[in-house]
Each structure stands twice: as structure tokens, then as C-alpha cells.
Structure 1
């Protein structure tokens, strides 16, 4: 991605959590760019560093976190080595909205849906007329009935709660929306509706988005660019077409091998079945995937691979790209 096309940049972001007298690494030198008007997916299993990255962008990490690196939004540096811009912090949800994991539980159970919008608007200095007009506009555009405004959270289905949370996320008209596992705990039909809604908001409002998910099928449905995380590192990134059709990191291939195919066949299954179970030992010194990878050799346990270009829109962090390519695609 060209730097001039990026609305959001995270540069060399590293996060360690303080636990008693030691530090636990959660994110290791992550570099992420979000294209203006685009939807990028951050993909990885639980514990891969996805949520830590998103929290570092919006400034919601716990006090136990030690953060290094830089985050830039629309040319404004909003975070540098753990110091957040005061202007950003005071009005952050006008810049970036955040849909947290298990977001259906963020609604106050003793307040109506309308109260959530009114309070948000008042905090950010909107007039009663502006609040009313925005509610009407957003509800009409994302297909929410006005009668929902009088409901309490317990009166809403899971899918309806998620739609309300998404409506709240775009209420202040941010330039970027971040969604952490937005389809978790939803059935397949509702998942599709929520992903369709995110795409519709992206098109109608021009809001750039980051969607974090453990499910590569969700990413393939909603996003145009992928960042694959494992143990706090980006191991592969690229356009949807490149990563889906030609994954080259063994971990990405493992994720692809777990996707159920319509015809029952998956060309990556034979590689997936050779991937070892996660080790309970400490994180490897070299490549973060070396203790599980069927292609590991001495250098993998000693040195950490850098992301290298395999095409103009595709990067992979692996010492064994040629071997993987021959094994998987020949």
C-alpha cells in the first residue's frame, strides 16, 4: 500500500505487559497501514496480539502495559512511545470508534437505546436537534426501526444489540472504525447480516475499517487487505486475492486448511495436518512459529525472519518461502 493512501499508520508498535517482576510480550514491532476507504482484517487466534494492537491504537491499554512505537491518524501523531496526544484523547471517539469484543454486553441494562445516543451526543457537545437528526438518519440507513429506541438491551436479540452498538460507533461520524471480533457469539445468518452492514457503512459513509477476527472466512468476506498475526508478530500480509489464493506462511496455510470447502476438499489440508500443536514452552527465540512448523530448520530457531516482498501487495516473514511454494503449489 502506498503511504499517501493510508489514513492510519501503526509503526513498530511493541507492547509488553508487566506481571509482577517480569514482562510478557504481547506485540512485537507491528507495522500496519489502513487505506482510506478500505477495510483491513487483522487475523489470528486468541492470544495472537490482535486486541492488544487495536487497544494500542485507541489508547485503551491497561496501566500494566508498556508500549513503544508510533500511531498516526490523518497525518496527526496520536501516540508515540506510550504518550497519547491530548487532543486525541479528549475527543477520541470522533476520530476512531471502537466496537470491542463481546460488544453486545457494553450497553447499559438500565437505560433505553435512545438514552445511549443522547448521552454520547451531549458529551460531545451536540444539540438536541443534531442528536435527533443523526439518530433518524443512522437508523434509516442501517435498517433499524425507530421503535427500538424505546427498548432496553434485554429486549433486543443478539443481532439487534450488535446493530445498535454499530450505530453508536458511527454516531459521531469518525473517519475510522475498529471492530474486534464483531461476529462472535452470533449465528451464521446474523453474522452475514452484520458483515453486510459493516460493508454498507464503509460504502455509504466512507469510513475506513479494521476488523479483527480469528476466522479467515470472515476476513475473506468483509476485507480487502489482510494482516495475519501469530504470537504478537505479523507473519503475512497482503491483498485478499494474494493471501487467499497463494498463502505462503505455514501459519496462514494452517488457517486456510481449517476452512470448510463447499465440495469437501481443501488443498491446504495436507499441510495443516503436519502442523504441530502449540508448545507450552516459552516463546521461541527465532521465528514465532518455529516450534510448530514442519519446515523449521536451524536458522528458524536462531533468527527472526523479516517481512519480505513476494509481490507488490504481498509480504511474508519466513526463511522457507521457496520450499513452502514448491511443497504446496507444485
Structure 2
């Protein structure tokens, strides 16, 4: 199912929830709809489902304008954040519900439910009730129920929000595999960046009702197009004095509207000869060290900036107050409504060693 949203807006009480949003989604894609709380993600999803009607603009599904088409005639399955299972019904009856409403024959319903029980790894649980299942199992029942009528588009509103971290990671891997096997289009709302980056084929970044950027997770992470995306994706930090960092003195930060963002992976911290480009490095002082399990998270002061960085546990430990060498490999430079990567121009390959 191909989706096109054209200049769609929606307001509540004069407050714009979705503001002139346009995008296209190709058939079979798994799309992550990502943004801060209150940004318009769920409103946009509900308009796609037919649960809300756009004030302006058009929603096109497979070439057909569906603004006034009722939800049950759009060929869409919807999975809610809180599962919305019928507590008085068994797993079997929950999955069969949509087919029963459509008055499908009992034999056809039984075949479809059996197929979905196997597909969602719920075989053997069909006679249990929701309160007898784990959170992950209840969510899989919700997926199965949404898939039962054979939708071509699956919409998921924060599908893993109510599940603990370990099960959530397992479920999102399972969901990606499931969508790939079924070959249907799916859109899921999330505020979890790791979830979107891991699962989605493409991401839509929504903020204050506006579409900031659409692209693959790698493109959006590596090539943010707006200041919001540059600051929202990844562990980003806005710098107060980027022009005081070695290699970036000539960037025109003093024009009044330029600023810069740095990420931990942009900053290399070391001792002695650990840094491969000494000509581009400068002196710094470790201010904070945090143990994160697999690595140390550092905050290092250099050039009037507190820079984030990471250090492997294999290296010599660092402590607050240690004097170190700091190399900033690159920055995201923000200019009004755009963002671009600026590499440190002082990074020159070290002299080759002849043996």
C-alpha cells in the first residue's frame, strides 16, 4: 500500500497539532514516526487511520483520496499503546474479533486464527485470557488481532511503551522480521530514538506539528538537515564557544546566527601519543567521568566548552582533574534553518612509518 500525505493540517481549539505536513511512503516500508511528546505524531497516525479528519489537505492511499472514508473501509490495522484487548475474551476470540464482525465463515476464521497463532508464537495460548499473559504476549495478541483481517497498512501507536526494556528489544526485532515476511506497509509512532533507528526502514521526524526531515536512519543520523534534527537525534550538545576549539577558529560563528552541536563520537580524548593527529589536538581537563558498563562517559573542558566523549575500558582509566589531549573531529554547524557538517581542517595524516 502506497501512502501520500499532501499539505495536511489539523488543529484543536485553535492550536495546530499538525501543520502543513506532506510526505510519501512506498509499499512494504516500515516507517518510524519520531519526535518529542506533543509534536503531532499520534494525531497524524489517527488521521491516517480515519479516526480523525484533516482540516485541510489530502490523505491518498493507493491513489485514492480517503479523507472521508470510514476506518473499516481503509484496509488498515491499528495497534494501540495499551493493547486494548477484550479482557473477557480468550486469545483466540480476541484475534478472531474483526473477522467475526465481518461475518466470515467459522472455518475461515479458524484457519486464519491458527495461522496467526503460529506467526506470532502464541500457539498453545489460544484459550488463555489477557490477564494470564505477559506484557509481551499481550502485545503479540494485539498485533495478531490487527493483522487478522489482512490489512495492507499497519499503524502502531507507541506499541512497546508499556513493556520492560529487555522484552521491548526482543519484540521490536520480532516486529521487523514479521513486517518483512508479510510485505505490508507499517508506520509506528515512538519517542525512542534507539527503537526507530534499529527497526525503521525510514524515519519521519515531527516537531511542533511540522515535518523536519524524512530519510533512512543512517541519513538522518549522519546528515541532519535542520537544527532541530541535529540536536534531537543522538547525544548532542550545543556549544557556547565553538570558535575557541582548535581547527574551528575561522568558522563564522560571530555573525550572530551560527551555532554548533557536538556529539560524543566527534570528540577524541587521550594521553601522550594516543591521538593520531596531534597537530589538530589541544589541551583539556577531564571534569566528570561516568561508568556506563561497556565504556566510560567523559565530560572534558577545552576551549571554554564542556565536551562529551567516550573511552573504552581497555585503555588507561581517566579521573576527574586529569589533563588530556582533545581532538574535535567535526561539528554540526547550524545556520538558521539548516545544518551542515564541518570537518576539522587541521587533521593531517601523520607521517608514515617506514620499516
TM-score (norm 2): 0.67
Number of positions where the alignment pairs a residue of Structure 1 with one of Structure 2 = 257
Given candidates 77, 82, 85, the residue that maps to 1:97 is 77
**Over residues 63-96 of structure 1, what are the superposed CA-to-partner deviations in whole Å (9 max), with x where a residue is unaligned?**
xx762211111122111xxxx12xx54434xx11
**Over residues 41-76 of structure 1, what are the superposed CA-to-partner deviations in whole Å (9 max), with x where a residue is unaligned?**
111011000000000111113xxx762211111122
Match of 2:6 in 1: 11
Taking the TM superposition and a 5 Å limit, the aligned residue runs for 1:210-249 are: 210-249=187-226
In the TM superposition, residue 180 of structure 1 has moved relative to its aligned partner by 1.1
Q: In the aligned structure 2, how far is the partner of 1:233 from the partner of 1:205?
A: 31
Give the aligned CA root-mean-square deviation in angstroms: 2.5
Taking the TM superposition and a 5 Å limit, the aligned residue runs for 1:248-327 are: 248-258=225-235, 269-271=236-238, 295=259, 319-321=336-338, 324-326=339-341
Q: Which has the higher helix share?
A: 1
Kept in 1, the 8 Å contact 2:77–2:154? The answer is yes
Match of 1:34 in 2: 25
Match of 2:132 in 1: 155
Q: In the aligned structure 2, how far is the partner of 1:186 from the partner of 1:15?
A: 30
In the TM superposition, residue 271 of structure 1 has moved relative to its aligned partner by 2.8
**Over residues 228-267 of structure 1, what are the superposed CA-to-partner deviations in whole Å (9 max), with x where a residue is unaligned?**
0111001122122211222232222222233xxxxxxxxx
- Alignment pair present for 1:58 and 2:25: no
Taking the TM superposition and a 5 Å limit, the aligned residue runs for 1:42-53 are: 42-53=33-44
- Alignment pair present for 1:131 and 2:109: yes
Match of 1:70 in 2: 58
Farther off after superposition, 107-116 or 246-255: 246-255
Q: In the aligned structure 1, how far is the partner of 2:240 from the partner of 2:104?
A: 56
Kept in 2, the 8 Å contact 1:219–1:226? The answer is yes
Match of 1:170 in 2: 147
Kindly name which structure, 1 or 2, has the bigger radius of gyration based on alpha carbons: 2
What are structure 2's unaligned runs of at least 5 residues?
242-256, 261-333, 346-355
Q: In the aligned structure 2, how far is the partner of 1:250 from the partner of 1:328?
A: 17
Distance 1:272 1:186, change over 3 A: farther
Give the SS at the match of 1:54. Answer: helix
In the TM superposition, residue 326 of structure 1 has moved relative to its aligned partner by 4.7
Give the SS at the match of 2:159. Answer: coil
In the TM superposition, residue 320 of structure 1 has moved relative to its aligned partner by 4.1
Kept in 1, the 8 Å contact 2:40–2:206? The answer is yes
Given candidates 159, 169, 179, the residue that maps to 1:182 is 159
Match of 1:117 in 2: 95
Q: Which has the higher strand share?
A: 2
